[in-house]
């Protein structure tokens, strides 16, 4: 296959959408039916009332499966530099980027396209750079050295995101009425991955997706959105709602492992990315994951009311393998682990 046909960030200006990206009529995004999400929970982590923060997080996890955070400790400067270096990477010459290309989902650094090109029948209008980020000293040496500032900027961003993620994990634990370290004890030392997503302008955005509807397989995701171009949509009460970028905010998506650990009290949010005809869009998703050998189960404190465990015990390694062995928009992977 030619280099330029493997990725969509190839400099080619398409006048029509290549057929391999065209969704069947029943699976298209129906963009005209999407409305703005007017009530996105926005949680101010700078609030001095920690119990109020915990209550807000619990409400958002239960009712929405996602929320936005402000005053989160990641500076505006670091976020802007992260988006800029991401853009710089994807505008590199094609031959330079393609040195990192791989379709192996278990590689620790790889440029790839769509979501799971080995399994899917219709592709998605997205390229992405996937990185493992923790521990930094183990993985950062593998990262791209072009752009020259990439390792430094992404490394600083990852450190700040991890600190925020561990704080949020404790608050989520407390919001369930558990000890603050309870979820950490179940999930083990969190892994940390990153997906830097690039969605080029699309000639026919109503026919395809950047990413189709899916839930994230990890614990939770911290998303840095492009401030100029929106594309994130979430499913709420059977309707797709657009989540507009909020200045200096980060979006937190609850993933499958927190749905399992909460015994279904918190929902892994279904979300998708749509594309547009005018401008490229960048997003940076940071995934906090259980350790591979963590046995995922809900703590006994959540069964006091007599509700039985919804999911059987499993390791995160088993879950991740099952997730990547299927097409992204198949049924919810967590359904395969129900009792």
pLDDT in tens, 41-72: 999 999 999 999 999 999 999 999 999 999 99
Bridge partners (DSSP) listed for residue 296: 314
For residues 8-36, give the mean pLDDT: 95
Percentage of the chain beyond pLDDT 90 is: 88
* CA end-to-end span of the chain: 44
Q: 77-98: string of b/e by CB count within 10 Å (b at 16+)?
A: ebbebbbebbeebbeeeeeebe
Where does the pLDDT of residue 184 fall: very low under 50, low under 70, confident under 90, or very high at 90 and above? very high
Q: How far apart are CA 65 and CA 274, in angstroms?
A: 19
Contacts with 202 (C-beta within 8 Å, 6 or more apart), sequence order: 14, 17, 125, 208, 275, 276, 277
Q: How far apart are CA 86 and CA 144, in angstroms?
A: 11
pLDDT in tens, 105-144: 889 999 999 877 777 889 999 999 999 999 999 999 999 9
Q: Tokens for 184?
A: 């950490």
Bridge partners (DSSP) listed for residue 112: 128
Q: How are beta strands 191-199 and 42-44 bridged, if at all?
A: unpaired
Closest by alpha carbon to 231, among 196, 287, 271, 268?
271
- Residue 256 · residue 287 · CB < 8 Å: no
- Residue 47 · residue 53 · CB < 8 Å: yes
Please determine, for residue 96, whether its predicted confidence score (pLDDT) is greater than 60.
Answer: yes
The predicted structure's pLDDT at residue 121: 84
The predicted structure's pLDDT at residue 37: 94
Contacts with 259 (C-beta within 8 Å, 6 or more apart), sequence order: 266, 267, 268, 334
pTM: 0.96
Closest by alpha carbon to 259, among 168, 171, 195, 183?
183
């Amino acid at each position: 296959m030619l280099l330029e046909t493997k990725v969509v960030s190839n400099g080619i200006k398409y006048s029509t959408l290549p057929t391999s990206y065209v969704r069947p009529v029943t699976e298209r995004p129906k963009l005209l039916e999407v409305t703005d999400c007017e009530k996105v929970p926005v949680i101010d982590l700078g609030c001095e009332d920690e119990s109020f923060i915990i209550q807000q997080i619990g409400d958002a996890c239960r009712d929405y499966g996602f929320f936005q955070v402000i005053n989160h400790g990641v500076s505006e400067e670091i976020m802007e530099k992260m988006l800029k270096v991401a853009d710089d990477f994807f505008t590199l010459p094609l031959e330079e980027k393609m040195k990192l290309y791989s379709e192996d989902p278990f590689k620790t650094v790889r440029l790839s396209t769509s979501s799971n090109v080995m399994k899917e029948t219709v592709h998605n209008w997205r390229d992405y750079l996937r990185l493992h980020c923790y521990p930094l000293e183990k993985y950062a040496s593998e990262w791209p050295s072009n752009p020259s500032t990439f390792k430094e900027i992404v490394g600083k961003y990852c450190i700040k995101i991890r600190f925020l993620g561990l704080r949020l994990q404790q608050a989520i634990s407390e919001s369930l009425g558990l000890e603050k370290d309870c979820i950490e004890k179940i999930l083990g030392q969190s892994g940390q991955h990153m997906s830097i997503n690039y969605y080029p302008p699309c000639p026919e955005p109503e026919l395809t997706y950047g990413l189709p509807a899916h839930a994230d397989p990890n614990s939770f995701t911290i998303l840095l959105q492009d401030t100029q171009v929106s594309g994130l949509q979430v499913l709420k009460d059977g309707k797709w709602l657009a989540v507009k970028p909020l200045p200096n905010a980060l979006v937190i998506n609850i993933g499958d492992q927190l749905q399992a650990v909460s015994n279904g009290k918190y929902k892994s949010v279904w979300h998708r990315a749509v594309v547009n005809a005018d401008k490229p869009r960048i997003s940076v998703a940071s995934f906090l994951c259980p350790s591979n050998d963590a046995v995922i189960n809900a703590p006994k404190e959540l069964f006091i009311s007599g509700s039985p465990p919804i999911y059987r015990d499993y390791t995160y390694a088993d879950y991740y393998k099952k997730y990547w062995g299927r097409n992204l928009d198949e049924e919810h992977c967590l359904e395969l682990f129900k009792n």
